[in-house]
Chain A
Amino acid sequence: MSKYILAKKTSVHDFSTFYSFLIGLAISITVGSLILLLQDQNPIEVFSLMLKLSVGSMNSLSASLNKAIPLILAGLGIAIINTVKLWNIGAEGQIFLGAIIVNLVYINTDLRSSSLYILLLLIAGFIGGSICILMPAITKVFFGVNEIITTLLTNYIIIGLTVYLINGPWRDPDSLSFPVAAYVGEEVFLPKILGRLSIGFIICILCTFAAHYLIDKSVFGYEMRIAGGSQMTAIYAGINAKQKTFIAMLIGGGFAGLAGAVELLGQTHRVSTGISQGFGYTAIIVAAITGMRPIGIFLVGTLFGALTIGGSVIQTIGVSSYIADIIQATTLFGALIALFFFTYEIKEVQDG
């Protein structure tokens, strides 16, 4: 008697993640088209309009890239933490706390004339993200508490904190309508490099390479991978698994915090509930689609930034912006399913 089992392939193609992404994208465009057809819209027209309005001009291109920055930075943070096989669902909160700490430092310091002041604020944002994941990191390392739950719950605490700050101590008295904090001064706005594109994009490129180096080429990355594979193997190898896990979580949180800093200084210029529009969650999709590879995160993050912009502008012709969300989500589904068939094969085995 024989039966069939799923077995890992002994050799996986180098580009399997990339191919999976393409398959996922094809599936999502098909699904998106079907939905548009059901709404009596012409998919080709809608998609070409999306393309035109997201990358068709310098203005729209720079808007798309600006949207990509937080997705990429937070995605990199998620990938770093996933090197020790942990899931950071708290990037959203880390983005907010990054921005909050930047504003806190900005309000309480008087170094505005210094040219390095922006750099200091960016570091403050990074630290803010690290602080945000500190509690999940401590409970994970010392008590084994599931990080998925703690990082997720931290989001709600931080968003609550944000609402409190902009309604209470930081409320801008000049804003009569909805509560927001006061603007930061123009001297700390991130400089523009191309159209509306801020220097945040350069930071993003640097961070992509840094994350790639850290995960793939450094001793620390190696130790993280072993610690993530098996705690016992780490002990056997003389690697301090708890320490590596702790540091990985703080760095990963820091990347998302930096996204908050860049968003505050480059885009919104003031703390509000609009600092992040779900970037921390979309970043999980971005990181997962790419199999946690930094270069991939950069590319897919850029595409998703454009999709978000494209999605918001097609509302003008009466199509819901949710079409962009649907495309993002079905790309993930399609890519994960495709990747499954790239990594596994169905094998016939003898019974027993």
Chain B
Amino acid sequence: MNQIILETKEISKSFGKVQALNNVNFFLHKGKIHGLLGENGAGKTSLMNILSGIYQPEKGSIYINGHKQDQLTPDSSLNLGIGMVHQEFRLIESFSIKDNLTLSKSNIYKEDFDEAYNKYSEIFSLSADAHSSISELSVGEKQKIEIMKLIFNNASIMLLDEPTAVLTPQETEQLKRSLDKLSQEDKKTIVFITHKLKEIKQFTESIFVMKNGEMVAKGLETKSVEDKELVNLMMGNVNSTKVNKNNPKGEIKLKVENLLQKNTENNLNTLEDISLDIKSGEILGIAGVSGNGQVELANIISGVEQNFKGKILINDIDISKKGVKARKKLNLSYIPENRLGVGLAPGVSVLDNSAIKEYFDASYGIHLSKNKLLENLELLIKEFSIKAPDPHAEISTLSGGNMQKLLMGRELISSPEIIIASQPTRGLDVRAVEAIHNLIIYQRDSGTAIMLFSEDLDELFKLSDRLIVLYEGKIIKEFEIEKANIHNVGLAMAGINE
């Protein structure tokens, strides 16, 4: 029972300047369900991609059943019985279930497909006919096929990358029962990746925790480990630099009352009972693991998303039914999470992109003054020190930092009264992050009400005056920043409200 089926020693891998994995040791016991916990970008998926032969490590070795493996390729990894379910499914939509399951050359149920399919359909509670095509299935059903594909390809080690991210609570419950059966009856070794604390405790027998590319805890026994301990391991220490928080606050600028939004597909609430307010000169931080309603909330307040119930007030004026342009005219700026694709239009020039917020101010009837647009861009470039040599070059020729500065500058130059900023520093280098933080503080000090969505707790602690934690679309807890620390915020992010 305690046989080690797979082990890695000192695995390292970097992408460009980013060290994704740093001397990672990892081991799996045959027939057990292992949890791999960590924040976004901690290195979980990179490690799994190395085990399934997609990436080659720069350093370190992999042992399977005690034998050292020289170089894993996707092919050899599959032959050794390692199979992975990726976050984005790899099924052929127009093919039938049967074709997808039997596609691989390592498929072991060629002859007795029906028998095997019936057996595993039962384990997965799948009612679909083997001849129906993948495109007719729901997301949950597709995932069952993905996992079944591993079984059909004779994988004894199953790597599941965030399998619950796309599932409803009922489907998650169902998945747990199926995985239990696979590990007990078929002696499958399973790795269950997640960043949700609750699930890792439900699903697994032992837990590994990754943080910034390092394995910070190995083989913890799930039964005896405390939530607090896991949160501490996952979050690590927060860099506690804080900016001056003696900023004067004024009257309430933005008020949100009882927001409710339903997902039209599965009728679940994406946002529920959200009420909050932000004063002039105040930064309200919104914390939460990604996918807990942050994008929806930001889109609703900015007017991009119009399908919701509840009230939004700017300076006591109800704007719930107003469109994007009307809200902009009330001096609201929105810096969306998705820089290129939402905030900036790919394939369009730097000049055109620089005018998206207020292009209508450069218009005279039907005429759009190019000179005025150029003047505005020049001002932006100077004011926010953006490196953009050619106004007519396509936006994607700028670096990430300069794109974000252009986007921020465009939204900030008109001294907005309210700013909604989503992940404003994601993917930027230290200097660019510092520049963006200074911009946000400057806006705060000139009396703007700021709503800051971030997955970076350092950033939230540094900038916010108050902190709200979103969990499954609800405000699970609210903190004054002095009373917030990594432990209580981390627990709230994991859905535990003490």
Contacts and interface: CB of A to CB of B under 8 A. Distances in A.
B368 A85 contact: no
A237 B360 CA distance: 11
A225 B368 contact: no
Interface residues of A, number: 28
A9 B343 CA distance: 22
A11 interface: yes
Contact of B393 (A10, A85, A225): A10
A129 interface: no
Nearest to A230: B345
A6 interface: no
Nearest to A216: B370
Interface string B395-421: 011100000000000000000000000
B345 A218 contact: no
Interface string B356-394: 110110010011101000000000000000000110111
Interface string A28-60: 000000000000000000000000000000000
A236 interface: yes
Interface in A175-196: none
Contact of A237 (B341, B356, B392): B356
A226 B410 CA distance: 15
A10 B390 contact: yes
B323 A238 contact: yes
Interface in A202-237: 216-222, 225-226, 228-230, 232-237
Contact of A230 (B14, B341, B390, B392): B341
B347 A10 contact: no
B15 A12 contact: no
B81 interface: no
A342 to B, nearest CB: 12
B358 to A, nearest CB: 10
A213 B73 CA distance: 56
Contact of B359 (A11, A219, A228, A233): A219
A225 B347 CA distance: 9
B338 A232 contact: yes
B487 interface: no
A237 B390 CA distance: 23
A222 B15 contact: no
A238 B303 contact: yes
Output the residue of A8, A14, A219, A228 with the most chain B CB within 10 A: A219
Contacts of A238: 303, 323-325, 328
Nearest to B397: A10
Nearest to A343: B394
A225 B352 CA distance: 8
A12 B349 CA distance: 11
Contacts of A218: 366-368
Interface string B310-331: 0000000000000111001000
A144 interface: no
A235 B324 contact: yes
B348 interface: yes
B324 to A, nearest CB: 3
Nearest to B305: A235
A352 interface: yes
Interface in B334-358: 334, 336, 338, 341-348, 352, 355-357
10 contacts: A9-B397, A10-B397, A12-B393, A217-B370, A220-B366, A221-B368, A222-B355, A222-B368, A226-B345, A238-B303
Given A85-B347, A236-B343, 4 more contacts: A12-B393, A218-B367, A219-B363, A226-B345
Interface of B: 14-16, 302-304, 323-325, 328, 334, 336, 338, 341-348, 352, 355-357, 359-360, 363, 366-368, 370, 389-390, 392-394, 396-398
- Nearest first, the 10 closest Cβ-Cβ pairs linking A and B are A229-B345, A238-B324, A238-B325, A229-B348, A233-B345, A11-B390, A352-B15, A230-B345, A10-B397, A219-B363
